[in-house]
């Protein structure tokens, strides 16, 4: 059994115990590691599937609990300030992403959605496609960043605008969270690069990043 076959079987069913797979995994550290990761992921998938989204309801607090809720909010705010300090960027890529966005402050002022042609223009030459046609993209430019053209988008959300940079040529090994210059964001890995999502307000960057990971198609032949 080849590693590709083993990983296909593991990815399809991490609990698979067929003799051929067991034999391969016993002798292949990479596939053994892959199986451990996929089993951990599967446990989380099972937990996630226990309750669909939207079934959750925020519990209402009685009047007696409100002072405690206020105290908890203050504590959370303090923790948030602390985490901003702790999570200040040490990564150069995150720093440069923030610096780039700061150079285009007008990007967050646009409110009208851009048309599909403008989005296509921003993506052209970046080696990516986007599977969304959102009328909340209010800014789409192709920007020069680290010797490559990258799409620079602004997505309007209920909590304010969020910037998305699709960085085909900038690989990261794992998700990176950062806070700098009043902006907070995340850089997530993609098959052939990474995606940076950041906001000055409370836009849901994690969720948007997760969505972009699904919606961005990385073309095989990048310029």
Partner 1 sequence: MRNSQPESPVSSISERLSGADPRASMTQLFESMRPDLLRFAHWLARDRSLAEDIVQESLLRAWRSRDTLKDRGAARAWLLTIVRREHARLYERKRLELVSLDEALDIQAAEKAAESDGDLFTLRHAIMRLPIEYREPLLLQILGGFSTEEIARELTLSSTAVLTRLFRARNKLRTICGMAPAPDVSASEVAP
Q: Does 208 bind partner 1 (CB under 8 A)?
A: yes
Using alpha carbons only, what angle is made at residue 69 by residues 64 and 75, rounded to the nearest 5 degrees?
145
Can you list the pairs that 209-212 forms with residues at least 24 positions away whose Cβ atoms lie under 8 Å?
209/175, 211/132, 212/164, 212/166, 212/188
Contacts of 218 (CB under 8 A, 6+ apart): 127, 128, 168, 190, 191, 192, 193
Closer residue to partner 1 in complex, CB, 6/183: 6
Q: Which of 29, 55, 63, 64 binds partner 1 (CB under 8 A)?
A: 55
Verify binding: residue 173, partner 1, rule CB under 8 A. Answer: yes
Quick one: which of 1, 7, 141, 142 contacts partner 1 (CB under 8 A)?
A: 7
Nearest to 213 by CA among 202, 205, 221: 205
How many residues form the binding site for partner 1 (CB under 8 A)? 53
Binding partner 1 (rule: CB under 8 A), the pick from 87, 132, 143, 222 is 132
Provide the 3-class DSSP secondary structure of residue 135.
Answer: coil
CA distance 21 to 5: 9
State how far Cα 89 lies from the chain centre: 17
Task: Check residue 125 for interaction with partner 1 (CB under 8 A).
Answer: no
User: Does residue 13 interact with partner 1 by CB under 8 A?
Assistant: yes
Residue 86 in contact with partner 1, rule: CB under 8 A: no
| Site residues for partner 1 per CB under 8 A | 4, 7-9, 11-14, 34, 37-38, 41-42, 44-59, 132, 134-136, 155, 157-159, 173-175, 188-191, 204, 206-208, 210-211, 213-215
């Amino acid at each position: 059994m080849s590693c590709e076959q083993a990983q296909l079987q593991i990815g399809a069913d991490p609990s698979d115990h067929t003799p051929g797979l067991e034999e391969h995994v016993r002798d292949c550290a990479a596939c053994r590691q892959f199986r451990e990761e996929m089993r951990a992921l599967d446990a989380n998938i099972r937990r996630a599937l226990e309750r669909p989204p939207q079934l959750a309801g925020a519990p209402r607090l009685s009047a007696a609990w409100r002072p405690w809720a206020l105290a908890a909010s203050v504590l959370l705010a303090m923790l948030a300030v602390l985490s901003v300090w702790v999570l200040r960027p040490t990564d150069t890529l995150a720093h440069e992403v923030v610096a780039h966005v700061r150079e285009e402050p007008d990007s967050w002022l646009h409110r009208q959605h851009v048309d599909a042609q403008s989005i296509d223009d921003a993506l052209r030459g970046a080696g990516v496609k986007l599977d969304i046609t959102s009328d909340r993209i209010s800014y789409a430019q192709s920007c020069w960043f680290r010797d490559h053209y990258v799409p620079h988008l602004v997505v309007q959300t209920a909590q304010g605008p969020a910037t998305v940079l699709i960085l085909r040529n900038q690989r990261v090994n794992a998700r990176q969270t950062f806070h700098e210059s009043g902006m907070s964001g995340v850089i997530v890995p993609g098959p052939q690069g990474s995606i940076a999502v950041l906001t000055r307000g409370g836009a849901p960057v994690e969720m948007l990043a997760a969505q972009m990971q699904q919606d961005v198609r990385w073309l095989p032949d990048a310029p």
